[in-house]
Structure 1
Amino acid sequence: MYQMTDEEFEAAVQDAIDSIPEEFLDDLENVAIIIADEPEEEDFEGDGLYSENGDLLGLYDGLALTDRDGGYGFGDYPDTITIFKGPHERLEGDRETIIEEVRKTVVHEIAHYFGMDEDQVDAMGYA
């Protein structure tokens, strides 16, 4: 189990965001990307990305872009994408493996923001 410093993990998340094509990033509106050490109990109630050992790697909480109507946005709290550090560190592998899994998790959760379901995300190779 490789443990990253908070700075290393934050850099891995930022690198993952930076790897997303600009045309997709430009469409991210009213969404916050958050890093947390571990998921809270209520996080397990949502549809998140889980590792093979059942750890929650990331979670999108919000209203997908495809489900929004003309009234969305005024006074609404931002959607959140949370990336969990501890579950990534518990994955088998080295630093590079964790960085790659962070990238997959970030892309996976952003895909949910754009309205993709688990099957569509899986077909893209990000499940």
Structure 2
Amino acid sequence: MLDLSSDAFERLVVDELDRLPDEMIDGLDNVVFVVEDRAEDGSLDLLGLYDGWALTERERYGVGELPDRIILYREAHLAVCDDEEELRDEVHTTLVHEIAHFYGIDDERLHELGWA
């Protein structure tokens, strides 16, 4: 298992966010990015999670809503990667995957596009 501190992992996530196309990031509204060690169930099976209302469902979205969250799980990423280059690729893929959920793209379509 790759070893990387929480601070170093967060810096890597920020780096990968900065590398994403502006068109992908500019449309994000009321979304925060969060790094947690593991999913709530304690497993290492989940790399990321979109917790919120997809843009396609925001007609039910009210004023004063708490921000949606895109969560990346540090220990799960470290468990599946052998080196930092692989980790960067996996974080990039996870970010794109979870941001796609914000835009209303489901797992089936992401799989068709090669992002799941």
Alignment partner of 1:23 is 2:23: yes
Alignment partner of 1:90 is 2:79: yes
> In the TM superposition, what are the counterparts of 1:66-85 in structure 2 within 5 Å?
66-69=56-59, 72-85=61-74
* Length-normalised TM-score, structure 1: 0.83
* Length-normalised TM-score, structure 2: 0.90
Q: CA deviation at 1:8?
A: 2.2
Partner of 2:54: 64
Partner of 1:35: 35
**Do the aligned residues in 2 keep the contact of 1:35 with 1:85 (CA within 8 Å)?**
yes
* 1:10-44 C-alpha deviation (Å, 9 max, x unpaired): 12211221122112211100111100011112x98
Partner of 2:12: 12
Q: CA deviation at 1:108?
A: 0.4
Q: Partners in 1 of 2:79 and 2:4 — Cα distance?
A: 11
- Which structure is higher in helix share? 2
Q: CA deviation at 1:7?
A: 2.6
* 1:32-67 C-alpha deviation (Å, 9 max, x unpaired): 1100011112x98xxxxxxxxx61100001110011
Query: Match of 1:34, as an amino acid?
Result: V
Q: Look up the SS of the partner of 1:33 in the other structure.
A: strand
**Do the aligned residues in 2 keep the contact of 1:16 with 1:107 (CA within 8 Å)?**
no
Query: Structure 1 unaligned runs (5+)?
Result: 45-53
Partner of 1:47: none
Superposed CA RMSD in Å reads: 1.8
CA distance 1:75–1:92, change in 2 (3 Å): closer
Residue identity (%): 41
**Do the aligned residues in 2 keep the contact of 1:107 with 1:126 (CA within 8 Å)?**
yes
Query: Structure 2 unaligned runs (5+)?
Result: none
Q: Look up the SS of the partner of 1:29 in the other structure.
A: coil
> In the TM superposition, what are the counterparts of 1:41-52 in structure 2 within 5 Å?
41=41
> In the TM superposition, what are the counterparts of 1:101-116 in structure 2 within 5 Å?
101-116=90-105
Q: Partners in 2 of 1:92 and 1:23 — Cα distance?
A: 28
